[in-house]
Structure 1
Amino acid sequence: MEKLLFDQVVETDYGQFDLVWSRDGGFDGDFDRVFAGQNNGLVGAADPDGVYINLARRSGGSPVRIVLMDEPAMDDPSWEDVVEVSFALPEGHEMQWSTWAGANRGTLEGLPPGSYRLRVSATGRDQGHAGEFADHPVDAYLLQIRPAPPQPDSILRIGSEEARYWHREVGNRR
């Protein structure tokens, strides 16, 4: 089963896209805090109030699709970069999405409290970085959420230089 939670072009600044469930959630510029104990540099899940997703474009629109699944996603080689992280949505909280400084935001309905695994797949990160101010989408993201016990983050595929750069950044900070 797959339930669509979100599917639109997201206008971002500084490539920031957050999934949050508290007013304190969202990337605040503290890279070390958001990626503490992680191996990947694309999806920061160390914040107990949200998950930060690092989009390749500095500014502009990127298609983002979010689906809730009941089992692990099948491998799809058309996605260049793939990362998985775990997060827990606490009881009494509602999942929301937000961009830099809350410029754009909304609610993701249909995600009950619990422990989840989030797979973030991306394509076009190098084009997104090179065309960071392009007037049309050049990178795209698929976020697949499924119930699962907590596990360490994992890098499943690296296909772009832009992703390599961010993974090295996290590795160099440990």
Structure 2
Amino acid sequence: MGLIFDDLVWTSYSQLWLLSEGPEQGDPTDLFRGQVNGLCGTAQAGSAFLVTGTHTGLVPVRVMILTAPPPSGGWEEIVEATFTPVGRTAGLYGWAADASVLFELPAPTYRLRYSASKMDAGKAQDLATVEQPAPDRYQIDLWPAPPEPDSILRRTSDNAGYWHDHGFQA
């Protein structure tokens, strides 16, 4: 399928959600239970909790549906986890907002790669406005794959380090 979405998504409290049919957002602590990464919690079927650097405002997000793992590219932070859809439709949501995009996920399980750049700059700026757009950016790559443990592929920023070491899963 390739590129599904490439636009701005509203974040508040430094969070985004990938949700499939049925589940509600739930408790982020439950979504990180048993995981090593602190940026992408997927421990319950149908939900993925995604951490951003920017606290509040519109952040750039790209969503890709692929057939195989993508190259790492120039991302500063990269984590992977298993995403198990509930039903065939999923959506990307900002905090307490309507879906930014809805799309089909027909496979039973996916590998979700969450990549980020400039999380520290987003954290420092805190608020993204029209006059001061978010400096951080994100990409969600999904491809059919059997379940496997989550992993941290690249870790460079202090903000990501905080979430990996002291976030919801700690």
User: Who is 1:48 aligned against?
Assistant: 45
How many pairs are equivalent? 167
User: Who is 1:16 aligned against?
Assistant: 15
Pair 1:80-2:76 in alignment: yes
Whole-angstrom CA distance in 2 between matches of 1:127 and 1:141: 13
- What is the deviation of 1:12? 1.2
User: Who is 1:64 aligned against?
Assistant: 61
- What is the deviation of 1:121? 0.7
User: Who is 2:165 aligned against?
Assistant: 168
The 3-state SS of whatever aligns with 1:108 is strand
Between 1:37-46 and 1:66-75, the stretch displaced more is 66-75
- What is the deviation of 1:33? 0.7
- What is the deviation of 1:170? 4.4
- What is the deviation of 1:23? 4.2
Whole-angstrom CA distance in 1 between matches of 2:4 and 2:122: 24
- Aligned-pair identity in percent equals 37
Whole-angstrom CA distance in 2 between matches of 1:12 and 1:110: 23
**Any conservation in 2 of the 1:39–1:171 contact (CA below 8 Å)?**
no
User: Who is 1:108 aligned against?
Assistant: 102
Unaligned 5+ runs, structure 2: none
Whole-angstrom CA distance in 2 between matches of 1:150 and 1:82: 18
Query: Cα deviation per residue 1:42-94 (whole Å; 9 max; x = unaligned)?
Result: 00001223111111111011100000111111122x2100000001123x441
RMSD: 1.8
Q: Could you state the TM-score of these two structures normalised by the residue count of structure 1?
A: 0.88
Unaligned 5+ runs, structure 1: none
